[in-house]
Amino acid sequence: MTLADLPTPCLVLDRPKVAANCARMAARAGVLGVRLRPHLKTAKSAEVGRLAHGGEPGPITVSTLREAEHFLDRGFCDITYAVGITPDKLDRAAALTARGADLTVLTDEPAAAKALAGHGAPFKVLVEVDCGGGRGGVDPGGEALLAVAAPLGAAGILAGVLTHAGQSYRCRAPGEIAAVAEVERAAVTAAAARLRAAGHACPVVSVGSTPTALFAESLDGVTEMRPGVYTLMDLYQASIGVCAVADIAVSVLATVIHHRDDAILVDAGGLALSMDRSTAKGPRDYGLGLACALDGTPEDGLVVAATNQEHGFLRAAAGPPPFGRFPVGSRLRILPNHACMTAAAHDHYHVIDGGTRVMARWERCNGW
Amino acid sequence: MTLADLPTPCLVLDRPKVAANCARMAARAGVLGVRLRPHLKTAKSAEVGRLAHGGEPGPITVSTLREAEHFLDRGFCDITYAVGITPDKLDRAAALTARGADLTVLTDEPAAAKALAGHGAPFKVLVEVDCGGGRGGVDPGGEALLAVAAPLGAAGILAGVLTHAGQSYRCRAPGEIAAVAEVERAAVTAAAARLRAAGHACPVVSVGSTPTALFAESLDGVTEMRPGVYTLMDLYQASIGVCAVADIAVSVLATVIHHRDDAILVDAGGLALSMDRSTAKGPRDYGLGLACALDGTPEDGLVVAATNQEHGFLRAAAGPPPFGRFPVGSRLRILPNHACMTAAAHDHYHVIDGGTRVMARWERCNGW
């Protein structure tokens, strides 16, 4: 079977590119002297999780309890669930530990910390620290850090600290990213030092984002990193210099359904591509995705300018789009702005071996 | 079971509101004297499809062949697949007719029309007409209309014409919508008249969009309408005056995971809500969704101001958000900007009977 035989729209994964992205990050973890705990919220695939660890299950990060269940069923036992847990989710998380998971959860709220401490399940708990990303997390220098840690330490379930430098996505050059990586490292190691000074053990000091993992100059004091999007890469990462467009391993296969005066209409719309417009905020705007020929060669400037639910509008940077190369019924591939969002619109990958031959189907674990 | 017992994030459907929305549209079809062929791309649910027809399967519209297969399996035989078909999809569509589907497809391309005419399956085919929406479709007054119709007529599979007034979404008042509805009616009836003048039968004259279906003053010459989002409604429809916020039947249930200085963080992020920002283009911007109490009462001005993959940031229109009413671990519901996109992030509905008691689980048909 080849890409010409698949029903469209569908999700295509280039295995050699995934393997190369994984090898690059594994080498980085080696150089930096930290454990690699890939965040599988992007790929949501056990096969990709194994590629990230050289072919075997290894430590992973997940964003939903459903992912934790999915990966445990497939041999991944060392799992960090990296969204602040709430009391209503504790029983479901505890069921994972009863099935053998070595489960780490995180919190930044005293109420949740008390609920974790009182639950009785053998959780390991990280205190989430905000290093400037402005999502979850306590101030590494504030009182809340110790307030959250206290009940966890008393219950013997405090495992350490974790942060995520989400602000690295706003960088525009490797030097800027390296500076953010140092902010991330400094915040989480400062938090770890305060916990230790308060008498707590703090074996885990965890950072993570694909840009900072690739451009950090030192991770002294850090024990692990949790990059995620690197396994697939996307146009946003390419636009900020974290990868080349040629490194993007995931694309949406589409069929041309109509020619308009100024646009080629394809059968991949807002549902198949997602509505993520992240490159609008970056140094290069790719609309809702960049078109490529069936063999993966990018069509310079031919982007998805607009979508309806099941229609995508391809327009050229200037002048008419290349109608002649893409007649009605022909096929092309669309690289995503944001791999996490686009891939989540599909429940499986059609895996290719670099060309157009389809060698496997890999399931994804969507939902909650 | 109640909304307090469900794992979050998840999708909630208020059955009495769906039923009321369906009754309103069925009454409109009666007044206008046309067949109602609801577009189930929004709800993607057989139970909603039956509610649209008073409890029994009836004629429907779908946006994917997977939907067509799903609904045929559930007793819906009269199906229009309303995305321009391409030659590679003909065998899969023909398999539906072999299983008993009364399948109508559409095209606006001579090449696809010839492929349909030569296939041999008992398709019915509508020629798609552009009435100003600027998506697919031929000019109702142009040569392409007759060029596309010719091979279909010769093969005895031409069933009529179809259009969609997508521009109705840009209206701001009932009077504007009524004017667009007349443009829609005039375009498709003009196309039908030209086909008849050329000797073709044209039994089906199909229009469709929720705004125009609700505010059209006359559908003289039209035989059916295909509104879709009306079954669930959403904030965009409310913002342009097509429904009240209280008519919105679908919401995302979320749990509060953290309080920041200026925001309440919940566990419904970009994946659970979709990244659709349609209300940014309308008269009232609801961010990525409007928060409601667990009983469905909207919190005026408390919107999802930003998302990460699994985090939503609720911010108030002015000042701090109502932390006291939404402590960590509490729950709320989020109304969507665009029901089609948000619902597609979930594979089922938790159905409530107007209160907070969960009475059923209804499956959705996502994917392709």
Domain B17-230 sits in which CATH superfamily? Answer: Alanine racemase (3.20.20.10)
Minimal Cβ distance to A87: which of B7, B108, B329:
B329
Q: How many residues does chain A have?
A: 368
Q: How many residues does chain B have?
A: 368
Alpha carbon of B258: minimum distance to chain A alpha carbons (Å): 7
Tens-level pLDDT at each residue, chain B (368 residues)? 999 999 999 999 999 999 999 999 999 999 999 999 999 999 999 999 999 999 999 999 999 999 999 999 999 999 999 999 999 999 999 999 999 999 999 999 999 999 999 999 999 999 999 999 988 999 999 999 999 999 999 999 999 999 999 999 999 999 999 999 999 999 999 999 999 999 999 999 999 999 999 999 999 999 999 999 999 999 999 999 999 999 999 999 999 999 998 999 999 999 999 999 999 998 999 999 999 999 999 999 999 999 999 999 999 999 999 999 999 999 999 999 999 999 999 999 999 999 999 999 999 999 99
Give the pTM.
0.97
Minimal Cβ distance to A111: which of B10, B271, B329:
B329
Alpha carbon of A259: minimum distance to chain B alpha carbons (Å): 8
Show residues of chain B in contact with A342, CB under 8 Å: none
pLDDT at res. A305: 97
CB contact under 8 A, A267 and B86: yes
Q: Report how far residue A43's alpha carbon sits from residue A118's, in angstroms, rounded to the nearest whole number.
A: 34
Alpha carbon of A311: minimum distance to chain B alpha carbons (Å): 8
Q: Report how far residue B271's alpha carbon sits from residue A187's, in angstroms, rounded to the nearest whole number.
A: 28
Q: Report how far residue A210's alpha carbon sits from residue A227's, in angstroms, rounded to the nearest whole number.
A: 4
Closest residue, chain A, to B169 (C-alpha):
A308
* Opening angle at CA B90, ends B89 and B93, nearest 5: 90
Q: The tokens 């309103």 sit on which residue?
A: B24
Amino acid in the structure at residue B123: F
Minimal Cβ distance to B86: which of A41, A87, A328:
A328
Mutation target to probe the B interface, by most B beta carbons within 10 A, among A62, A138, A210, A257 is A257
Q: Which of A263, A303, A258 is nearest to A284 (CA)?
A: A303
Q: Which is it for the CA torsion A161, A167, A171, A176, positive or negative?
A: negative
Minimal Cβ distance to A64: which of B41, B275, B310:
B310
Alpha carbon of B86: minimum distance to chain A alpha carbons (Å): 6
Closest residue, chain B, to A63 (C-alpha):
B310
Show residues of chain A in contact with B277, CB under 8 Å: 275, 277
| Edge-to-edge strand ranges of the sheet holding B78-81 | B35-36, B224-225, B204-207, B158-163, B124-129, B102-107, B78-81, B60-62
Closest residue, chain B, to A134 (C-alpha):
B260
Show residues of chain B in contact with A41, CB under 8 Å: 309-310
pLDDT at res. B166: 93
Alpha carbon of A142: minimum distance to chain B alpha carbons (Å): 13
CB contact under 8 A, A309 and B340: yes
Minimal Cβ distance to A311: which of B135, B277, B368:
B135
Minimal Cβ distance to B309: which of A7, A41, A328:
A41
Is this prediction's ipTM beyond 0.90?
yes
CB contact under 8 A, A112 and B329: yes
pLDDT at res. A155: 97
CB contact under 8 A, A255 and B309: no
CB contact under 8 A, A83 and B166: no
Closest residue, chain A, to B64 (C-alpha):
A310
pLDDT at res. B181: 97
Q: Report how far residue A14's alpha carbon sits from residue A22's, in angstroms, rounded to the nearest whole number.
A: 13
- Bridge-based pairing state of the strands B358-363 and A78-81: unpaired
Show residues of chain A in contact with B8, CB under 8 Å: 88, 368
pLDDT at res. B328: 94
Show residues of chain A in contact with B341, CB under 8 Å: 270-271, 275, 309
Q: Report how far residue A279's alpha carbon sits from residue A239's, in angstroms, rounded to the nearest whole number.
A: 7
Give residue-wise pLDDT tens across range A178-236.
999 999 999 999 999 999 999 999 999 999 999 999 999 999 999 999 999 999 999 99
pLDDT at res. A59: 98
Mutation target to probe the A interface, by most A beta carbons within 10 A, among B236, B271, B342 is B271
CB contact under 8 A, B271 and A341: yes
Minimal Cβ distance to B267: which of A83, A276, A367:
A83
Show residues of chain B in contact with A368, CB under 8 Å: 7-10, 272
CATH 2.40.37.20 is right for the domain spanning B3-11+242-363: yes
Domain topology for A3-11+241-363: Lyase, Ornithine Decarboxylase; Chain A, domain 1 (2.40.37)
Domain locations in chain A as residue ranges: 3-11+241-363, 15-230
pLDDT at res. A94: 98
Residue B365: partners with Cβ closer than 8 Å, 6 or more residues away: B44, B45, B66, B67, B70, B71
CB contact under 8 A, A112 and B86: no
pLDDT at res. B223: 98
Low-confidence residues of chain A: pLDDT under 50: none
CB contact under 8 A, B86 and A340: no
Q: What is the CATH number of domain A15-230?
A: 3.20.20.10
Give residue-wise pLDDT tens across range B36-74.
999 999 999 999 999 999 999 999 999 999 999 999 999
pLDDT at res. B227: 98
